[in-house]
Structure 1
Amino acid sequence: MTDTLTRPTTESRRRGRSVLYGALLLPVGVLTMADAILGEPETAVRRWRRLLAYRLGATAAPRAMNAGQAFGYGLLSALLGLTSVFVMLLVVLAVVRGPFWGFVEHGPVQPGTWGGPTRAGAWTAHALIAVPCIIAFLFALRGIAALHTLLVQGARRWVLPATIVLGVASLLFFWSWLQQL
């Protein structure tokens, strides 16, 4: 009899693969741009085929492209990779500053603190706000991985403009996040 608590479910494996896929997008994008500059777009296609096979299985097939297209798609992949790394950073920050807020904040609880003036109230408020954010960030990572998969496969026309909009929006969001630090 198989114990279902010790074996990861298909859904948790997909989430884990999406996180790893997002982490690999940045180096794969940079290597793809280097391949395009060196005039070897077929190497980029092979690299994407391996990455897609990891995420989707053996049926993955990226579209053929020339050096200019490979460079552009590598740039978009690197941008999506940076977005994924930033979202992963937000997940870590949400975990540390959310459910574990009381372990990292040792100063007195000010009246303006979320859930204040008591330490227990502030800890509870931070945890209750962070948990939905963590779940949303994990779904965002899954969406980035799905968008990149569609981009590389070249299956639909709306994917390229959506990727460009997401890239620009993520750069603006990152910039605004840096400004508030």
Structure 2
Amino acid sequence: MTHTLTRPITAPPRWHRSLVYDVLLVPVGVLTLADAVLGEPETAARRWRRLGEYRVGRSEVRPMTTARTFGYGLLSAVLGLASLFVLFLTVLAVIRGPFWGFVEHGAVEPGTWGGPSRAGAWLAHGLIALPCIVAFVFVLRGIAALHTLLLQGTRSWVLPATIVLAAGTCAFFRAWLQQV
């Protein structure tokens, strides 16, 4: 109870800070790529430190070489695009899930989830969307946490995990674009 009373009212909740962090990964990653090309890794380190301070209150960024700055910028831009895609899916799940009846005005087909009645389809879409929304928020928090650990450089498993996640994200986007 004391923690709740002593915390400033203006402090955003932890999930909010992770969402903002995720949204800022793309522009900060692109700026970091530019810093690497221009040979200014110190500027990138300061930018990462400020972004990390917003998310966790304090941030330690290890010294960066030009190659590390370029690599982190590339990884950050890819993770930022993945975060924006998951955020898009979250908004889509909110709009098409609990509010399905307001969005879809056509006839309910027999193959529709929860069909053939409109109420059943609405209920099915809402019940399926709610756990998806929660999962998407946790995925966004996980991406922000993984990226923060990457910048801190304190654990050896983080860089390979980030590279695998970024490669998987690129493969997913390529496959998704092929089917669109």
The two structures have a TM-score, normalised by structure 2, of: 0.91
Equivalent in the alignment of 2:33? 33
* Distance across 2 between alignment mates of 1:106 and 1:178: 28
The 1:37–1:21 alpha-carbon spacing in structure 2 relative to 1, beyond 3 Å, is same
Equivalent in the alignment of 1:157? 156
Equivalent in the alignment of 1:70? 69
* Distance across 2 between alignment mates of 1:107 and 1:179: 29
Deviations 1:144-164 (A, max 9, x none): 000000001111111011001
Equivalent in the alignment of 2:99? 100
Give the AA of the match of 1:99.
P
RMSD value, Cα: 1.9
Give the AA of the match of 1:75.
L
Give the AA of the match of 1:16.
H
Equivalent in the alignment of 2:109? 110
Please report how far the alpha carbon of residue 129 of structure 1 lies from its aligned counterpart in structure 2 after TM superposition: 0.3
* Distance across 1 between alignment mates of 2:16 and 2:155: 26
Give the AA of the match of 1:70.
T
Q: How does 1:10-49 map to 2 (within 5 A)?
A: 13-49=13-49
Give the AA of the match of 2:14.
R
The two structures have a TM-score, normalised by structure 1, of: 0.90
Aligned length: 174
Please report how far the alpha carbon of residue 178 of structure 1 lies from its aligned counterpart in structure 2 after TM superposition: 4.0
Where 1:161 maps in the other structure, the secondary structure is helix
Please report how far the alpha carbon of residue 173 of structure 1 lies from its aligned counterpart in structure 2 after TM superposition: 2.7
The 1:114–1:180 alpha-carbon spacing in structure 2 relative to 1, beyond 3 Å, is farther
What runs of 5+ residues in structure 1 fail to find an aligned partner? none
* Distance across 2 between alignment mates of 1:114 and 1:50: 46
Give the AA of the match of 1:137.
F
* Distance across 2 between alignment mates of 1:34 and 1:50: 18
Q: How does 1:164-179 map to 2 (within 5 A)?
A: 164-179=163-178
Deviations 1:47-105 (A, max 9, x none): 000001111113x1101011111000110011110010000000011111101111110
